[in-house]
Structure 1
Amino acid sequence: MILGTDCYITAIYLFEGGEIPTGLDGAEGIELFIVTSSAEIDIVHEPRAREILRASMPRGYTGEIVFVSIGCTGLFATVLEFVQRSVRYCRILALETPASFVQHTLDVAKLGDGGDGFIAQDVACVMDLSKERKGAIAKIGHCEILARRGSFGGTAKLSQELARCLENLCLRLPGAEIVTFENVSLWSQRLLQLLTVMLREGAVPPPERWLPSIESDERHFMSVRPLLDMLSHINHPPPQALIVACLGAGGRIGLMALEWLRVDDGTTEPVRLTYEPTFGKADRHDLGEIALLGEHDTVPVRPTHVLYADREFYGRNNFYFQWTLRN
């Protein structure tokens, strides 16, 4: 039985300069640990990735470690996985280190050298989620991953679907501000052009009024980008509601709507939320168990392809790959 559909962010910890964030080990009652990376499952065999994974794991945690991935939209998949499980508290690790390994997978997918020119950044970030409001920073009111169909005109149809979704969100959350999803890829720019034409005037702020993203050039933050965008707009002061979007290879875009619950002094703002949260129905592709290597085990050969680039998986909303890690 799912314990309701409310979902709250209680903490965000950023690994800056490779340092372990203060307070990371302090969370109690974590019932589920989910890891995501655009580089897919083989990244967990890299020594630096294992170090961050173990540092992020709540002290004394004995539950399963779930690994989900769908390119750069993996963070949205972790939220979908959490809300559709019968647990109350969850820790999520967005793992995009070491940068050399992530860059290799970008190049394999023709998104790095010889493609869009993305340059992987060495980043990792932790987000704690709860189905209870106590101690929350923000409420997640909406989360889904939209996917372009592989047929002719797929980008135009995706832009229509995206326009309807943004219009509905802005209707539910008056005054919501949108963080741009644009990046340096040609597909990103094409999608934004089509979307601009399809948005009903007055229903959604025009793209030229959207908030800037942390990602504005070839430097690529993969699945950590939405978290960095949240952090960059939380203290300036934050808008009452924020819509964060992130593109993923294979014609995907993740959308998340947040309502901030804290005022500038860090105390909880006494606001009654009046809308019902909506989450996409998860479409998982279970790929079984993977053994997490020990510190001194041999690192396997780097992958020669990435699953999210396989055309057989295009066009499926709220779709992601899932593995279970065991030590």
Structure 2
Amino acid sequence: MTHSIAILGASGYTGAELVRLIATHPDLRIAALSGERKAGQPMAAVFPHLRHLDLPDLVKIEEIDFSGIDLAFCALPHATSQAVIKELPRDLKIVDLSADFRLRDPAAYEKWYGKPHAAPEMQAEAVYGLTEYYREEIRAARLVAGTGCNAATGQYALIPLIKAGAIDLDEIVIDLKAGVSGAGRALKENLLHAELSEGFHAYAAGGVHRHLGEFDQEFSKAAGRPVEVQFTPHLIPANRGILATVYLRGEAGAIHDALASAYKDETFIQVLPLGEHPSTRHVRGSNFVHIGVVADRRPGRAMVIAALDNLTKGSSGQAIQNANLMLGLDEAAGLMLAPCFP
């Protein structure tokens, strides 16, 4: 059975990534695409790399007839997303790629995003979209909240270790590097080529990055007590990819064993042999996560290094993985593309 889907916010990077992946999906058909500023234009004009596909033109959201749509991907900015989603039909399945429904506590949302949530009743309904940890809840969900791409990377590296008691929970440092597409497609002076290329800088340092809300929520849940990590993201002059180096107090062998055991049956998460570490170039354009463990020269300390593509496994690929579960499809359908190398 083919399912009809809509992509709201298809003129952004995550929208384009959804289209790219769904183009080879055996069970999904794109029935509607929205793009408020690009309404009336064909996708080929907005994203020429998709010109070979037979796609509907971009329209405004209010022009979409949702009566024949089985599921909508909402790839809109936070705050915009919650306002749109609360007006959509109640029988429509939704995968939201924004930050609007990731945090269960309305007070936490207000703390990290600076304004009260506009649809708190739906916030309580949403299932957190870290697929490998919420698989059964996602199958039964109407609304799934996609994770932050940085948040997903850190969680894949750490949740098994927290659950296994393999590390000191009070000494966790996440040093993360992210490609520029994670900042979205909107024009920003600091993302101009002359401002960004040949440079490398930290941002949101000192515990102010919004994805810390997800870390606090999910790590504390896994531990059964409050856990706060030290987290510094960096912007690198690359289009795609996230590499997180996590510094830990714990034995490298036990850490590797916990990760290997947790992910041994997971299609998209590959734990490398002990001592090897991953690169963003080896997961580019794919839904795979590579995780490595390296012992530090000091006994009792180790590093976990995780790599994923922020637009695929960190966002649009994760969204399709969750949609597959919600629609009763093969979880890996449309997502087994090999990474693009070099």
**Same fold per superposition (TM over 0.5):** no
- The structure carrying a bigger helix percent of its residues is 2
TM-score calculated relative to the size of structure 1: 0.28
> TM-score with structure 2 length normalisation?
0.27
Largest Rg, 1 or 2: 2
Q: Which has the higher strand share?
A: 1
